Amino acid sequence: MGAPHQDPPVLLSKSDPPARRTGEPLVALPEPPSRASLWAGGLLILLSFGIYPTYPLVPFLPISLWQKGGVGIGLAVLSWTLFFAGSALIGRRGMAHLRHHLRWRREGQSRPELGHSVPRRQP
């Protein structure tokens, strides 16, 4: 049995688009997140963190121990679902944007990078 037939390579000028075979589907590049999806995703992520203060209240609910466990698991599932849905709405570029603008420490207050020498304190 012979090798499958392949078309010879085609040389294109720099202004021509890339050549495609007739059967290949065109793939659309993902667009950056819109402002509305960025805000909605950020809100969902904030809501996911807002669930954490309710965990200490679960033991004081007037329900059985098994139901308390179910409520705790349900809260955890809800929190993670909101977080992942928010992350999906924001997208990779939006997360990078948020990380850049919402740093816990500013540049002058952060620890030095590994590999850089830091002078020691003299006793």
CB atoms within 10 A of CB 38: 19
| Interaxial angle between packed helices 65-101 and 35-50, expressed in degrees from 0 to 180 and rounded to the nearest 10 | 140
**Domain count within the chain:** 1
Q: Residue-wise pLDDT tens for the chain (123 aa)?
A: 556 666 666 565 555 555 555 555 555 545 556 788 888 998 999 999 999 999 999 999 999 999 999 999 999 999 999 999 999 998 887 777 777 777 655 555 555 555 566 667 777
Angle, CA 39 vertex, CA 104 and CA 47 arms, to 5°: 70
Q: Evaluate whether residue 14 is within a structural domain.
A: no
Domain that holds residue 94: 35-102
Q: What is the pTM of this model?
A: 0.54
Q: Looking at residue 117, what DSSP letter applies?
A: -
Q: Evaluate whether residue 88 is within a structural domain.
A: yes
